[in-house]
Amino acid sequence: MRHAIETVLLLAIGRVNQAMFWATRGRVVLYRFYGRPDVLLTVTGPDAPAGEVMGVGYLPDGDDYIVLATDAETGERAALRTATAATAELTPDQHVAVDITMLTDDAERAVLLDRLLRRASLDERHEVVRRREFPIARLTPHHKAAHAGSVAFSGIWLS
């Protein structure tokens, strides 16, 4: 039920945005949708000794990053499971070494997903639920990086 209400709400926000954008000839946008954040992850392991680069979706959990995937994304899970080292590219000039902890307990993943979705923005939450994503791994940075997590902002933008 909550997903249906959020879908209708997002459609209404989109329509209001379109009308305002059209009425002001592109000068005002009331709400910007950002979606779920992604990070480029370079993993090194027996299958990819030179390093395999892949984009993974995540939601922040404190200083950690929880990688989300669908049932169809088995390649990501295999690469993360066999990785011996990994580096996350949070911004083009910020690379952070991370430890990968696979999440295998279904009950633990369900509790974690519920907690993450409660703190996620409306459009992040909608995208995760729509795509039926679930947590597969926890990325723990070796040192605390400048936060490059999701940005949720609602306001008037003038150009």
Instruction: Report the pLDDT value the prediction gives residue 68, as an integer from 0 to 100.
Output: 92
Q: What is the pLDDT of residues 11-51, one digit of tens each?
A: 887 788 788 888 888 888 777 777 778 889 998 887 766 77
Residue 148 has pLDDT above 60, yes or no: no
The residue behind tokens 């395999």 is 52
Query: Given phi > 0 = left and psi -120 to 50 = alpha, else beta, which region is 26?
Result: left
- The three-point CA angle 81-116-80 to 5° equals 10
How far is residue 65's CA from residue 59's CA, in Å, rounded to a whole number? Answer: 6
Q: Within its chain, how far is the Cα of 53 from the centroid? A: 17
Token pair recorded at residue 93: 């000039």
How far is residue 153's CA from residue 32's CA, in Å, rounded to a whole number? Answer: 7
Q: What is the pLDDT of residues 53-112, one digit of tens each?
A: 888 889 999 999 999 988 887 777 888 888 888 999 877 888 899 999 999 999 999 999
Residue 126 has pLDDT above 90, yes or no: no
Question: Model-level pTM?
Answer: 0.72
